[in-house]
Amino acid sequence: MIIRKLRLQRGWSQEQLSQLSGLSIRTIQRIEQGQKAGLESLKSLAAVFEIQVSDLQMEPPMNKEITITEDENQALEYVKGIKSFYSNLTSYVLVIGMLFVINYFTGPDYWWAVWPALGWGIGIVSHALSAFEVVNVFGPDWERKQVEKRLGRKL
């Protein structure tokens, strides 16, 4: 999470951090997800962020604490949801567009590509409502209630 926070503070994408550090994008993703990084990777990242390797290896000292607040974590999760939606929307446009092209060249008499477009389109609308928190059926309140139900007590 420290790497992710430092990257986001500078407004860099994972691709930009990959180019600056010389590490692969997959390595950046793994480190940001909490997997242990090798010493060479840490050296590259420390050089890019202009901090000590020790700041990335262990918990930072009290006077140099790098923490992620609950608000920051919620914002990161919100952005992750929106990113997921846009990725899904991009796939939808490309695949459905291709289906319509295939439909046009193989049998323009019957537009069968409408059916997958409608089916997946319903999923896209549902994903958008959830990602942009228009309808938040499975939001934090629901999660809390389910955890309390499972534990049999209040949190």
The whole-number pLDDT of residue 45 equals: 93
Rounded CA-CA distance 126/16 in Å is 32
What's the whole-number mean pLDDT along residues 79-86? 92
Alpha helices in the chain (DSSP H): 2-9, 14-21, 25-32, 39-49, 53-57, 70-106, 114-131, 140-151
Q: Between these two residues, 38 and 67, which has the higher pLDDT value?
A: 38
- Per-residue pLDDT reduced to its tens digit, 92-128: 999 999 999 999 999 999 999 999 999 999 999 999 9
Q: Which amino acid is at 118?
A: L
Given a cut of 80, whether residue 65 has pLDDT beyond it is no
**pLDDT tens across 4-62, in order?**
888 988 889 899 999 999 999 999 999 988 888 888 999 999 999 999 888 887 654 44
Judged by DSSP in three states, 139 sits in coil
What does 117-138 look like in DSSP terms, one character per residue? Answer: HHHHHHHHHHHHHHHTTSS-TT
pLDDT at 54: 85
Residue 56 · residue 42 · CB < 8 Å: yes
Query: What's the pLDDT score for residue 63?
Result: 46
pLDDT digits (tens, 9 = 90+) for 127-151: 999 888 887 777 667 777 888 888 8
Query: Could you tell me the pTM of the whole model?
Result: 0.55
pLDDT of residue 131: 87
What pLDDT shows up at residue 58? 60
User: Mean pLDDT throughout 58-71?
Assistant: 59
pLDDT computed for residue 61 by the predictor: 46
The residue among 74 and 42 whose pLDDT is bigger is 42
